[in-house]
């Protein structure tokens, strides 16, 4: 994976996310999410981990933290990001202790599940997962099959 592929995937993800959101009114998890997931399609386990962390993040914030804290708006969004980051740190630590190397995109992955979890709260899990994967698949198809990209 070269830097140019990263830039192209993120720019395509931003563009297609915005167009999708404007056309259908559905947020595919966040503007940067589809570009990152498209790059992660080469490692399906990584994509599954992203969605598992996002689901755990949503459940922890919605069903645990929400019982003890008043969470709305930016507070809820930050709670989603913080919980996502903590889960990512935990997984990264366990992964490193098992001797597994981390990929170059793991630093970006720290916020992606939080963005997806926030979209779960706003529009539901099924709609968010379907739209995220759909737009990500479109980005992946373009970066994979269009020559010169």
- Matching residue, tokens 């008043």: 70
**Most distant CA atoms of the chain, gap in Å:** 53
pTM of the model: 0.89
pLDDT tens string 71-88: 999 999 999 999 999 998
Is 12's pLDDT higher than 60? yes
pLDDT tens string 35-69: 999 998 988 888 998 999 999 999 999 999 999 99
Buried/exposed code over 11-39 (b: 16+ C-beta within 10 A; e: otherwise): ebbbebbeebbeeeebbbbbbbbbbbbbb
pLDDT tens string 76-120: 999 999 999 999 888 888 877 776 655 555 666 789 999 999 999
CB atoms under 10 Å from CB of 73, counted, come to: 7
């Amino acid at each position: 994976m070269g830097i140019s592929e990263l830039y192209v995937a993120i720019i395509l993800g931003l563009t297609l996310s915005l167009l999708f959101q404007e056309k259908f009114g559905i947020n595919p998890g966040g503007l940067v999410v589809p570009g990152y997931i498209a790059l992660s399609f080469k490692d399906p386990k990584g994509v599954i981990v992203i969605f598992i962390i996002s689901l755990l993040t949503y459940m922890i914030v919605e069903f645990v933290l929400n019982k003890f804290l008043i969470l709305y708006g930016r507070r809820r969004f930050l709670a989603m990001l913080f919980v996502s980051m903590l889960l990512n740190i935990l997984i990264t630590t366990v992964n490193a202790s098992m001797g597994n190397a981390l990929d170059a995109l793991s630093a970006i992955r720290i916020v992606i599940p939080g963005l997806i979890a926030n979209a779960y709260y706003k529009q539901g899990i099924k709609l968010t997962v379907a739209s995220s994967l759909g737009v990500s698949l479109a980005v992946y198809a373009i970066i994979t099959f269009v020559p010169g990209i």
